[in-house]
A = this chain, B = another copy of it.
């Protein structure tokens, strides 16, 4: 079997930090990222799966849902995730296809609308913690939405923000399609935005739920499921730092799994940003015995090649 690579693209691969931008801004940014991904493919990473974040994009969809709620029925969060998979996915297909052609490579690029199963007894259901959507400063509006079943937390001076459960990804339901397409020579986009979260009831089809799965964890899961030998999380910092932002700050170039787990247990990594990336890299290294990378998007080729960012060895 050809070697398989999974690359998880952070929000900065799609839009500048903190904004979702217009469609043409997102397209330009995705195109710039795909120029790098095409280098990866040209470099021989043949069986390649891309996954991607969608935070600001889902935020925009949620705002539209709320502002239009008296006119059209809001769609649930799992539908919002699906919507962002499609828009980001086909823009990747357009621009990566174009960049590959510049390398003389003709390969189908296929975004797979991806569902990821979570469990109904995941402890995350009782502790919604993943912030999504815009900041609100209208307390009455927050109260109205909490009445309707949403959860909000106060985030300092910026106001209130919705939080949703972020359950553990258990099974990538569309993995069979991903593997068929890889074996057929396609480059695949899958588990975007962490995947569409679904649960299984006793009887009935898979059912979408109001949750957001972490995209790095969903990427690491898929990487393990398809037997990838390389997993890279690409983001807007150069790698993993210990004592980040202090005088003792130290960037890790190569780190053994055990050591990284120890730093993690020390509370070195924040829940919202580096935490899930480190957890995803650890799970991949543990589960497969292969090295995982956390690196800057700008160093994609070197990072996947093992010579940039933080390399986490099993």
Contact = CB atoms under 8 A, between A and B. Distances in A.
Interface stretch (A68-76, A238-246, A259-267): A68-76
Interface in A180-200: 180-181, 184, 186, 196, 198
Contact of A83 (B67, B83, B198, B208): B83
Interface centre among A20, A86, A87, A97 (most CB of B within 10 A): A86
Given A90-B115, A90-B196, A113-B86, A21 B73 contact: yes
Contacts of A208: 23, 94
Given A87-B79, A115-B94, A205-B95, A64 B73 contact: no
A177 B110 contact: yes
B83 A60 contact: no
19 contacts: A22-B73, A31-B205, A64-B68, A64-B72, A67-B71, A79-B87, A82-B87, A93-B115, A93-B174, A94-B205, A94-B208, A97-B205, A98-B206, A110-B177, A111-B113, A113-B113, A180-B180, A180-B186, A181-B181
A23 B79 contact: yes
A179 to B, nearest CB: 9
A57 B213 CA distance: 25
Interface of A: 20-23, 31, 60, 63-65, 67-68, 71-73, 75-76, 79, 82-83, 85-87, 89-90, 93-95, 97-98, 108, 110-113, 115, 174, 176-177, 180-181, 184, 186, 196, 198, 204-208
Contact of A177 (B76, B115, B181): B181
B89 A113 contact: yes
A75 to B, nearest CB: 5
Contacts of A98: 204-206
A108 B174 contact: yes
Contacts of A111: 113
Of all A-B residue pairs in the complex, the 3 with the closest CB atoms, nearest first, are A86-B86, A98-B205, A64-B64
Contacts of A22: 73
A86 to B, nearest CB: 4
A87 B75 contact: yes
Given A23-B73, A110-B112, A186-B177, A86 B94 contact: no
Contacts of A67: 64, 67-68, 71
Given A60-B72, A86-B113, 11 more contacts: A63-B72, A67-B67, A79-B87, A83-B86, A90-B115, A93-B113, A108-B180, A110-B112, A110-B174, A111-B113, A113-B113
A90 B53 CA distance: 19
Contacts of A207: 94
